[in-house]
Amino acid sequence: MRLLEKLGLAAAACLLGANVAAADTIVKWLHIEVNPAQVKIWEEVARSYEASHPGVKIEMQFLENEAYKAKLPTILQSKDRPHIIYSWAGGVLKTQVEAGVLEDITDSVKSGGYSDTIAPAALAAFTQNGHVYGLPIALSQVGFLYNKDLMAKGNVDASKIKTWDDLLGAVKTLKAAGVTPIVVGGADKWPLHFFWTHLAVRVGGKPAFDAALKGENGGFAGETFQKSGELFKQLVDLQPFQNGFLGFKNPQAVGYFGDGKAAMILAISSFYHTQRALAADKVGLSDDKLGWFDFPVVPGGKGEPSDTLGGITGWLITKGAPKEATDFLKYFISKDVQARLAVGNFIVPVVKGGEAGLNSTFMKQIAANLAKSNYHQNFYDQSLGPSVGRVVNDVTAEIAGGSMSPQDAAKAIEAAYKQGN
């Protein structure tokens, strides 16, 4: 009998203990960042938020990029879903909103003039039908990051690469000099789609993309998209990539560039930083060895040279998240924290005044490019949603591997777009 009593007391104690623990609000925050230097700052920001908000705990969870994308639909429908998740906006966000798995945080974001501190275009990316579901954290641009030493070894003046033909010429010269011209993570497919989509941005510009969305001019099977495939094929035919590029995952490829084994990489501006973390020696290429040139223009192309392809990345609040999650997010996307991340050159800030922190000429250049761009195209594979976006990635990988013609590739995208979701 006494044993039972003891057990009862122990159980009661446990219940009480559980109650005390439940008084703490835990904010679960799922991210995909691979750069330890940046994650370290995030951790510090989270801890400082906890210090000023007793009873709130910020829990960081990590998933690798591809795994994250694959698991997200399941994660979002679980009762135990994280409260803050990473997002590239676009069609994937639209799908999530339609499914009702995101929290409408419009009121919280609009209150106290907070939303005015953020660049309108960036905030718009996380707004659907006038409702805000998340906050942007950074903008990025796609362009060529190059290794100055290897370019010099191949006798190529990177500052003179302005047109697609210039790029093809540079590839030939570099190959002749025994330098691997371009490294790409072909196994992940999306790094390959940068070539094709950026060509489409140059060939057709915004009008072509908008028309394709409406199904005009042959949709994605139309002239613009066939042409970008053909131009991409011109490059592929020169065999510009490292050996076995279809087996390289993106982190491997970025590391390969950081190791100084290839002259160029068609990069997201943030690779400027990740190449250090992913290089074999964890040091990578120093600033004075790195160069950048914008994606070359295409003769007769309708896109402006200042048009940019890139990402608008940010964080979403999921349905049923505690209000502390939104509060923390607002704290995280504030001028102070953005400036702090800018000082480390991790991001091009979205909060007004945040860019003042940027101290590398490289990141300042990217920020300037984005500021003067009138058409910033979000990555196609995000913008078109999971189903069509993945087909874009597939077919560009197939063009690169030589198993599909540019015409068939464009048709495959259009077919997927029509099937839709």
Partner 1 sequence: MARRIAIASPMGVAGETAPQVASRGPSWDGRFTVLILFLPPALLLFTLFVVLPIGEAAWYSGFNWNGFGRPTHWIGFDNYRFVLETRAFWLALRNNGLIVAVSLAIQLPLALTLALMLAEKFRGAVALRMLFFMPYILAEIATGLIFSFVYDGDYGLVASIWRTFGAEPPHLLASTDTAMLAVLIVIVWKYFGFHMMLFIAALQSLDKSLVEAARIDGATRSQALRHVVIPLLYPTIRLSVFFAIVGSLQLFDLVMPLTRGGPADSSNTMVSFLYNNGISRMRVGYGSAIGVILFVICVTFAFTYKRWFMRDE
Closer of 32 and 76 to partner 1 (Cβ): 76
Compute and round to an integer the Cα radius of gyration of the chain.
Answer: 23
- The one-letter code for the residue type at 377 is Q
**Sequence-distant (≥ 6) Cβ neighbours of residue 178 within 8 angstroms:** none
User: Going along 142-301, which residue ranges are E strands?
Assistant: 142-147, 182-183, 264-268, 290-294
In the set 38, 87, 96, 383, which binds partner 1 (CB under 8 A)?
96
CB-nearer residue toward partner 1: 143 or 186: 186
Instruction: Report the residue from 239, 359, 403, 407 that binds partner 1 according to the rule CB under 8 A.
Output: 403
Q: Which stretch binds partner 1 (CB under 8 A): 30-38, 222-230, 245-253, 359-367?
A: 245-253
Is the C-alpha dihedral spanning 325, 47, 367, 274 positive or negative? negative
Distance CA 362, CA 348 (A): 11
**Residue 250 near residue 258, CB atoms below 8 Å:** no
36 binds partner 1 (CB under 8 A): no
For the CB of residue 402, give the shortest distance to partner 1 in the complex, in Å.
8
For residues 68 and 331, which CB has a smaller minimum distance to partner 1 in the complex? 68
For position 419 contacting partner 1 by CB under 8 A, the verdict is yes
Per DSSP, helices labelled H in 100-147 are 106-110, 120-125
- Residue closer to partner 1 by CB (options 69, 193) is 69
Binding flag, residue 239, partner 1 (CB under 8 A): no
Minimum CB separation of residue 34 from partner 1 in Å reads 18
CA distance 101 to 397: 32
Q: Which of 286, 186, 303 is nearest to 246 (CA)?
A: 186
Between CA 131 and CA 53 the distance in angstroms is 27
Q: Which residue type is seen at 22?
A: A
Residues that bind partner 1 (rule: CB under 8 A) add up to a total of 33
With CB under 8 A as the contact rule, the residue among 55, 178, 244, 300 that binds partner 1 is 244
DSSP 79: T
We find the least distance from the C-beta atom of residue 101 to partner 1, in angstroms, to be 7
User: Is residue 99 near partner 1 by the rule CB under 8 A?
Assistant: yes
Element (H, E) at 257: helix 250-258
| Residue 17 CB neighbours (<10 A) | 10
Candidates 58, 101, 138, 167: give the one binding partner 1 (CB under 8 A). 101
- CB closer to partner 1 out of 336 and 408: 408
Residue 247 touches partner 1, criterion: CB under 8 A: yes
Q: Does 327 bind partner 1 (CB under 8 A)?
A: no
Binding to partner 1 by residue 107, rule CB under 8 A?
A: no
Task: Name the token pair of 191.
Answer: 């790094």
348, two tokens:
């091009």
Of 357 and 386, which CB lies nearer to partner 1 in the complex structure? Answer: 386
Could you tell me the smallest distance in angstroms from the CB atom of residue 244 to partner 1? 2
> Interaction with partner 1 in 159-218: which residues (CB under 8 A)?
186-187, 189
Q: Does 404 bind partner 1 (CB under 8 A)?
A: yes
Can you tell me which of 42, 248, 257, 272 binds partner 1, judged by CB under 8 A? Answer: 248
- Report the nearest approach of partner 1 to the CB of residue 351 (Å): 31
Shortest distance in whole angstroms from residue 1 CB to partner 1: 36
Q: Per CB under 8 A, which of residues 377..396 are in contact with partner 1?
A: 386-387, 390, 394
Q: What number of H helices and E strands is found in the chain?
A: 18, 14
Choice between 16 and 67, CB closer to partner 1: 67
| Least CB distance to partner 1 at residue 185 (A) | 11
**65: contact with partner 1 by CB under 8 A:** no
Are 219 and 414 spatial neighbours (Cβ–Cβ below 8 Å)?
A: yes
- Alpha carbons within 13 A on the beta-carbon side of 11: 6
Please give the backbone phi and psi of residue 96, each rounded to the nearest 5 degrees, phi first: -65, -40
Which of these, 377, 378, 414, 382, lies nearest to 395 by C-alpha position?
414
> Of 95, 135, 80, 68, whose CA–CA distance to 337 is shortest?
135
Interface residues with partner 1 (CB under 8 A) are 69-70, 73-74, 76-77, 95-96, 98-101, 186-187, 189, 243-248, 386-387, 390, 394, 397-398, 401, 403-404, 419-421
